Chain A
Amino acid sequence: MNAPEFAYAVECNKTARQTIAALWSASLKAGWIVLGDYDMGGLIPEEEAKRGVEVKSIDMCKPVHAKPFIQQDPMTALCMPCNVLVRMADGKTTIAALKPGVMLPKLFPEAVGALGKLPFDIDAEMKAIIDQAVAAPTKAA
């Protein structure tokens, strides 16, 4: 998966399940909370399912960051929580996430404009969580 301007994507040397576990752990260490995760395997095309492709997502949130957005405009909650996608296909695992620092100013220019560099701080924190998950030693399943 090539990352467009609005997303961050990296490869990971772990299975999808191990990657979700590593993201979960890295999020908590960074002071984020994990709200839940989805196994999207039932939604992928049949041909991919036969190849053993796995797609999972994990929803994470940092309330201290979410609060000022919701205060500025409750509609910003449409973009919450932050969603990180994990896809394992043909022996490769990729982690991808939307960049709030790119998306939110385009969707809510007035509300987000008042929050200064916070959206970019969130980008940086999410990137650090994902990079930490990639670098973390793999735990036995």
Chain B
Amino acid sequence: MAIENFSYVVETKKSFKDALIAVRKQAESRKWGVLGDYDFSEILSSKGFPQAEQAKSLDLCSPSHANQVMAAEKLAALCMPCSVLVFTDQGKTKIAAVKPGVMLPLLFPHAKGKLGALPQEIDAQLKDILDAVAGS
């Protein structure tokens, strides 16, 4: 059975590089940390698979949220940090993120009570970051 609506995607008029910079700025202004990044186009190209498009993920984390989620379900760390993907698609720059508010209750239904509305709150904050990048 397919999992519907598990991600949020926005399109921006920014260049790929400017979108990456904007994600960092918007995340940090909301007290989310950027733990690292992976440039998939570079990684694949370096191994002999040149890419026509660009794709880079930024690993974002809000420690206070992560602490509560890990307290509710140890395996939830498998879904951390939150990954925000910036990629190009036929001349357009897009930004995407998985919605923890969809995935966490689905993967860890027994932790729903402990998590309360937190996963949806994390969704809202990630959406806010992506919308700000698209709109700024």
Contacts and interface: CB of A to CB of B under 8 A. Distances in A.
Interface of A: 1, 4, 6-7, 9, 33, 35-36, 38, 40, 42-45, 55, 57, 59, 61, 63-64, 66-67, 70, 74-75, 77-81, 83, 85, 87, 96-98, 106-107, 109
Nearest to A94: B74
A67 B81 CA distance: 22
B70 A38 contact: no
B18 to A, nearest CB: 18
B42 to A, nearest CB: 11
B51 interface: yes
Contacts of A36: 36, 38
A42 B63 contact: yes
B94 to A, nearest CB: 8
Nearest to A89: B74
B35 interface: yes
A75 B40 CA distance: 12
A98 B9 CA distance: 23
A98 B76 CA distance: 10
B49 A109 contact: no
A99 to B, nearest CB: 10
Given A43-B66, A77-B87, A63 B57 contact: no
Contacts of A75: 7, 9, 85, 87, 96
A1 B98 CA distance: 24
B67 interface: yes
Contacts of A77: 40, 55, 57, 85, 87
5 contacts: A43-B63, A66-B40, A70-B40, A70-B44, A79-B98
A35 B83 CA distance: 15
Contact of A7 (B1, B66, B75): B75
B117 interface: no
A44 B70 CA distance: 6
Nearest to B71: A45
B77 interface: yes
Given A38-B81, A40-B66, 12 more contacts: A43-B67, A44-B67, A66-B40, A74-B87, A74-B89, A75-B7, A75-B85, A77-B87, A79-B98, A80-B38, A96-B78, A107-B3
Nearest to A35: B38
A40 B38 contact: no
Nearest to A45: B71
Contacts of B6: 107
